[in-house]
Amino acid sequence: MQRFAGLAFGAENFSPAKALFLRRWCCRLRNPIVHFQLLSVGDGLFSVELINGKYQLSGGIDPLALCKEHGTPLYVYDAAVMERQFRRIAGAFSYPKLRIHYACKALTNLTVMRLFRQWGAALDCVSIQEVQLGLMAGFVPDNILYTPNFAGLDEYEQAVQLGVKINIDAIPMLENWGLHHKDVPVCIRINPHLMAGGHENISVGHIDSKFGISIHQLPHVLRVVESQGLRIAGLHMHTGSDILDVDVFLRGADILFEAARKFPDLEYIDLGSGFKVPYKPEDIETDVEELGEKLSQRFAEFCREYGRELTLMFEPGKFLVSESGFLLARCTLVKQTTSTVFVGLDTGLNHLIRPMFYGSYHKIVNVTEPQFKPRIYTVVGNICETDTFGSDRRIAEVVEGDILCFYNAGAYGWMMASNYNSRPRPAEVLIYQGKAHLIRRRETLEDLTCNQVQIDI
């Protein structure tokens, strides 16, 4: 049951998209008499919600109890949110030959990868190690696309031996391919020269990007393909991350369609990803339903012109797991200076680097005392660097020992974590079918030293 502005509705009355719209509409009203409360969170729509004055995770799980059991800092993921996102993107397209590849660089925990395989996803991998993890998670080689960047020929050789699909993004490697494996079909990654993405570090389709083969080098590519007798099975592009404008995808698709007409034996076209997810209650996101409607029609028209149906592929990562994840951390100290009140935590950029690396925003709430009077804080970590998670944040009053929660921590959180300052990486917990499961134990000092070789000195 969901309660909206004093009226109760059964959960069956809301699709995920409608429920999400209602919540954001309610937030935009900024009216204290309007209240939207999720009384049943089994559908995973909002996996950390304030209910009866306390924060709860999906299935009514108490985040404070998880911290007591597993310690802090702690990553928590909600499988229901991952599945919701996968079903949403898969259901947005009416074109029948659609394949969604999970870009596992966002989160390669084997349990998470196995879930996406069970839901019907294929896999996008950027290293041979990710390929090997995908095979361990049960993906068949034909459902894995290996898309490295500046990988050595030895990695490509391993990919050939493992039987996965291979994506090439440089002309020299394409020329090498003709010398060694011209009978192995490959995909070519094209740089469409579209500037897109929410930050310069995640914009990868512009003219100065290291990724892909420039669309202006297509005549050179065609000469290599013809002279070497290469089999080109697919074309691929990826312009960046946090792309809001649907027209960016459509423009990129048109560029790729024009290039595809020069390759008569294609089997698939991969349009990458970059779908923006919301980070704030009033934030906007990529309208994947609009994209699905427009692109399905446009792709079907292209296939009719091409002469046969090709497979349409996407490779979302952040879109599938970002909103499912939360980082829980303990306040170690509240420190007031002449100008700022700092909340220091038992985590830092070594566990969540995105705010410092990308300037990314993560909502932060006080899970322990959500009803306390809000105050303005700058939230920082315990690393010996400038280590700021958020400045001038309005958070319920924090005291030492309180647990703070970071939202949107499912993608590139644990994956970009390090042992900087010789601090171990956190444990990971997955909420699956209403129960919390430990899916990665917390590292120990022994883990940090186990591969060191000490010599006699």
pLDDT digits (tens, 9 = 90+) for 153-181: 999 999 999 999 999 999 999 999 989 99
Q: Which residue has the tokens 């969170």?
A: 41
Of residues 404 and 52, the one with the higher pLDDT is: 404
Mean pLDDT of the chain: 88
**What integer is the mean pLDDT of 100-128?**
98
- Higher-pLDDT residue of 141 and 197 is 141
What CATH homologous superfamily does 108-316 map to?
Alanine racemase (3.20.20.10)
The span from the CA of 346 to the CA of 389, in Å, is 12
d(CA 271, CA 321): 19
In one letter, which amino acid is 9? F
Residue 244's pLDDT is 76
Q: Are strands 388-396 and 435-440 parallel, antiparallel or unpaired?
A: unpaired
For residue 44, count other CB atoms closer than 10 A to its CB: 21
CB 242 within 8 A of CB 319: no
Q: What angle (nearest 5°) sits at the alpha carbon of residue 194, between those of residues 189 and 197?
A: 100
* Pairing outcome for strands 374-380 and 341-345: parallel
Q: What is the pLDDT of residue 281?
A: 78
Tokens 């898309």, residue located: 147
Instruction: Identify the weakest region by mean pLDDT among 39-53, 99-113, 298-312, 397-411.
Output: 39-53
CA angle centred on 170, ends 165 and 174, rounded to 5°:
65
Q: Do domains 46-78+323-447 and 108-316 have the same CATH topology?
A: no
Is beta strand 364-366 parallel, antiparallel or unpaired with respect to 268-270? Answer: unpaired
Q: Is it the case that residue 25 has pLDDT exceeding 50?
A: no
Rounded CA-CA distance 259/307 in Å is 15
Active-site residue, selected from the candidate residues 331, 384, 405, 450: 384
Distance between CA atoms of residues 252 and 150, nearest Å: 23
Q: What CATH number should be reported for the domain whose range is 46-78+323-447? A: 2.40.37.10
Binned at pLDDT 50, 70 and 90, residue 210 comes out as: confident
Per domain, the residue ranges of the chain are 12-44, 46-78+323-447, 108-316
> Which residue type does 50 have?
L
Paired tokens of 20: 């999400």
Q: What is the pLDDT of residue 2?
A: 37
**What would the two tokens of residue 407 be?**
């939202």
229: pLDDT confidence band, cut at 50, 70 and 90? very high
Question: What is the three-class DSSP state of 288?
Answer: helix
Of 90, 78, 69, the closest CA to residue 49 belongs to 78
The yes-or-no answer on residue 187 being catalytic is no
| CB-CB contact of 167 with 236 (8 Å) | yes
Band of residue 9 on the pLDDT scale cut at 50, 70, 90: very low
Q: Which two tokens stand for residue 90?
A: 């898969």
Please state, in angstroms and rounded to a whole number, the distance separating the CA atoms of residues 137 and 132: 9
What per-residue confidence (pLDDT) applies to 201?
Answer: 43
- Residue 407 identity (one-letter amino acid): Y
Listed in sequence order, the residues at least 6 apart from 12 whose beta carbon sits closer than 8 Å to its beta carbon are none
- pLDDT at residue 296 greater than cutoff 80: yes
| pLDDT band, residue 207 (cuts 50/70/90) | low
Q: Which residues contact 424 (CB under 8 A, 6 or more apart)?
A: 442, 443, 444, 445, 447, 448
Question: What pLDDT does residue 240 have?
Answer: 66
Question: What does R_g of the chain's alpha carbons equal in angstroms?
Answer: 23
Judge contact between 448 and 424, C-beta under 8 A: yes
Residues 417-456: tens digit of each pLDDT: 999 999 999 999 999 999 999 999 999 999 999 999 999 9
Task: Tell me which H or E stretch contains 65.
Answer: helix 63-70
CA distance 89 to 332: 40
